Structure formats: structure tokens, C-alpha cells
Amino acid sequence: MSPGFGFLKKKTSDFFLDKKSNSDFYQSVTDSELLHIIENEKKILEKDLKNDLEPIRTSVLDCLNRLRDSAKELEEQEIKVENPQFEPLINTSKNILISSIKKESFIESSEIKNYEDAVKFKNNLELLVNRFGQVGDSHNRILNEFMRKQINKLKSEFDKISSLLKEVTKVLSVKESQINNCITCRDDLILLNEKLKEKKDKQNRLAEIAQELQTIDKNIEAANRKYEDFQKSEEFLNGLNFLEKINNKKDEIGILEKNMINRVSNLSRPITKFSYEASKETQGRLANLLNDPLEIFNDNSEYLKLFNELKRNIIEKSIKIKDPEKTTHQIEEIVNSLPSLSSNLKDLKEELILLESSTSFKNIKRLNDLKMTTEMYEKNRLENITKTQETKETIKELESATNGLKKKIEDKVSEITNTKYSIAQ
């Protein structure tokens, strides 16, 4: 059997019709209009491709019909050989060949309407030729030895199909570059449309951001004016007097609390030694006292008991310390002054609450609120400026991308249509 059964590789052709125009005239079109032009050009090329391939397709189908008829005749024939031992081997090869023809010869027979159909037809034909070639190569010797007369008829059809595949490949090589250019242009035009839409959206957003910035600037100006006007108002001036009173009251509270903290801190060593022998409940109170000396003002009676117990242990020398008399004196100072200090602290805090609840002080808080409002607007302004810069950068990148894509499309369309087009934006 002829080696024509073998695989035929697809050849890539450099053929391309020269359609460059000598004219410098550019027709202005929109991207959607150019897309329509490209689609029409692709349809024209596909129509030519269809007309060129249709006779070949018909010939292929005729060959396959004849192959099936020949395979049917071969199936009905009984092959006799002189040596019976070869008969099973011959019949096996015969049955494989017949089965392959029946199975593989039903190539897609639908009409070729476009480039994709043409490529599918060529690929199916390649598979068919390869399969026939594989079967022929595997059983070539046996078939030619014992079935030469029957095989010659099939071989003629196989060779014809291989020849038709070469014709299909040649026809496709002429058109596929042009059609692929159309497909590439179409995809690039779709991408260009997306990029242009994205750029327009970003430009609209940039205008919105600019409008937002104007509003923010107006808000900052109004807030600053309110802040300055309020600073000159009688309410604010009265509030300053109350603010001074409040600060003075806070200073008094701070001095009193610091005094107590220092006093307790001076007794940290004996208090720690006292806790070694105390109950768990007492240890907890002593730990609270060392960690937060101001806790003493919240529970005077209990802490007075602790200090008196501490004093007793020092006097009885249950707790060994360096200067017991000095320590005892320090404890007595706390015990004696704690009631009055607690009362003073309570009065100071109540007075502070009254001052902070006054209308004049609330006016001072209003000034702080105005300042915070201005700071919030300033923060929004910085964010707006950042967004503006980012959006401008994005628009610049999109502008560069669309210009490059536009030039690429216009050059390719000029090759395809022999007409120079300029895409209007």
C-alpha cells in the first residue's frame, strides 16, 4: 500500500495580498463603524474561502462514499489462500481495514459557512488521512501480498483524499492570514471600545472629584469663618473665664491626689512586709493600695483599719523595719488626714462637675468641635487630592494604551481593506 496513508503536516504560508494604498486620504469612522467594516471584510473573505473549498469538500465526500462501497464489497468477498495457516491473519487484517473505513469515513459533512468551519473541516480531514495511514502501515505487507487486487482500488481513493487534503491546506494558507487579521482587528476594536469607555468613566469621575473639592473648600472656608467669629464672641470670652476656673480646679484635685500617692509610696516597704503575714483578702486590699493609692478615697473605713493594723504590727515589732518611729508617724498622718482629704476631694470633684456643666464651658467645647470639623474637612481635602492624582494617572495610562491600540488597528485595517481609516474618538 502507498505511503500516502501517512501524516501530512500543516504548512504555514507567507502569502498575503499586497493591498497598501498610495493615497494619503484618511476616512474618519467611529470604532463601531470600523468594526462593521471589518466584519463585512471577514464575511467576503469567508465567502471566497467557502467557494474555493466547496468543490474540494464535495470531492472528499464522493471519495468517502466510494470507499464505503468498496469496503462493503470487500467485506462480502471471501479471500482464499493456498496455505490455510495464513487465513486467520489475512481475515484479521481485512476486518480491521473494513472496520476502519466504516468508522472513520463519516467526516463532518455540514456546509462550510465560515473560517471556523473551514479549519474544522481541514482538521477532520487530517485526522482521517492519519487514521487511514496508520491502518495501512500496520497491515500493508499482508494486504498487498494476499489482497492486491482489492486493495489497489482502495489505495486510489486514499491517495485521492491525501491529495485533496493538500488542496485544502493550500486554499486555507492563502486566506487564513487575512481572516486572522480581521479577527485580531475585531478583538482589538472590542478592547479599544472597553478602554475608551473606561477612560470616559474615569474622566467623569475626575469631574465629580473636582466638584467634591469645590464643596470641601467651601466647607473649610465656612468652618474657619465660624471658628474665627466665635473666638471674638462674648460667649467664648465668658467661657475662657470658666475654662480657667476649671483648670484651676483640676490642678487642686491633682495636687491633693499626688500628695496621697506620695504618702502611700513612702510606706510601700512596710505595707509589703505586712502583706506577707496577712490573710488573702487583706493581701488583695494591700495590693490594690500599692497599685492604685487613690483607691483609699473610695473605701475610707476599710483602709483606715488596714493602716491602724499596720501601725499596731510595727509598734509590737511583728514587722521589722529600719525606722519604726518615722513610719508610725507617717501612718498617723494618713489616718488623721484621710477623712478631711476625702471630703475635700469630693467637694472639688463636685465643683468641677458643676463648672463643666455650665453653658459657658459648653461654648468652649463648641469651639473645639468647630476646630475638629475643620480638621475633618482638611483630611477629606487631602484624600480628594490623592484621588485626583490617581485618577489622572489612570487616564494618562488609558490614553497611552488607546492611542497605541488605535494606531495598531488603523495600520492593520489599511492592509486588509486597502483604505486608510482614522478612528474618531
Give the CATH number for residue 71: 1.20.120
Q: How far is residue 288's CA from residue 310's CA, in Å, rounded to a whole number?
A: 16
Last residue of a domain, one of 333, 357, 381: 357
Residue 305 lies in a domain: yes
Q: Are residues 162 and 240 in the same domain?
A: no
Last residue of a domain, one of 357, 380, 398: 357
List helix spans (H) across 82-147.
87-104, 115-146
Q: Which residue has the higher pLDDT, 142 or 3?
A: 142
Q: Say yes or no to pLDDT of 167 above 80.
A: yes
Residue 299 lies in a domain: yes
Length of the chain: 425
Q: Are residues 52 and 116 in the same domain?
A: yes
Q: Are residues 238 and 328 in the same domain?
A: yes
Residue 210 lies in a domain: no
Angle (nearest 5°) at CA 105 between 103 and 111: 130
Q: Are residues 36 and 163 in the same domain?
A: yes
Q: Are residues 103 and 251 in the same domain?
A: no
Q: Which residue has the higher pLDDT, 106 or 198?
A: 198
Q: Which residue has the higher pLDDT, 114 or 202?
A: 202
**Which pLDDT does position 190 carry in this prediction?**
93
Neighbours of 85 (CB within 10 A): 7
Last residue of a domain, one of 324, 340, 357: 357
pLDDT grade for 382, boundaries at 50, 70 and 90: very high
Q: Are residues 74 and 160 in the same domain?
A: yes
Q: Are residues 37 and 176 in the same domain?
A: yes
**Which pLDDT does position 296 carry in this prediction?**
85
Q: Are residues 253 and 345 in the same domain?
A: yes
Domain boundaries, position 337: 234-357
Over residues 2-9, mean pLDDT: 32
Q: Say yes or no to pLDDT of 21 above 50.
A: no
How high is the mean pLDDT of the chain?
81
Q: Are residues 245 and 350 in the same domain?
A: yes
Residue 216 lies in a domain: no
**Which pLDDT does position 254 carry in this prediction?**
92
pLDDT grade for 395, boundaries at 50, 70 and 90: very high
Over residues 365-388, mean pLDDT: 89
Residue 330 lies in a domain: yes
Residue 422 lies in a domain: no
Q: Are residues 196 and 47 in the same domain?
A: yes
**Which pLDDT does position 314 carry in this prediction?**
84
Contact 79, 126 (CB under 8 A): no
Angle (nearest 5°) at CA 192 between 188 and 195: 140
Q: Provide the b/e sequence for 295-316 (b: ≥16 CB within 10 Å).
A: ebbeeeeebeebbeebbebbee
Contacts of 146 (CB under 8 A, 6+ apart): 79, 81, 86, 90
pLDDT grade for 406, boundaries at 50, 70 and 90: very high
Min mean pLDDT across 212-216, 235-239, 389-393 is at 235-239
Q: How far is residue 383's CA from residue 379's CA, in Å, rounded to a whole number?
A: 6
Q: Say yes or no to pLDDT of 17 above 50.
A: no
pTM of the model: 0.53
DSSP 159-177: HHHHHHHHHHHHHHHHHHH
**Which pLDDT does position 18 carry in this prediction?**
40
Q: How far is residue 421's CA from residue 185's CA, in Å, rounded to a whole number?
A: 13
**Which pLDDT does position 148 carry in this prediction?**
63
Nine-digit cell at 396?
494618562
Q: Could you give the number of structural domains in the chain? A: 2
Q: Are residues 185 and 239 in the same domain?
A: no
pLDDT grade for 400, boundaries at 50, 70 and 90: very high
Over residues 173-192, mean pLDDT: 90
Q: How far is residue 376's CA from residue 389's CA, in Å, rounded to a whole number?
A: 20
Min mean pLDDT across 151-160, 163-172, 263-272 is at 151-160
Residue 420 lies in a domain: no
Min mean pLDDT across 9-18, 81-90, 91-100, 281-290 is at 9-18
Q: Are residues 73 and 182 in the same domain?
A: yes
Residue 89 lies in a domain: yes
**Which pLDDT does position 20 carry in this prediction?**
39
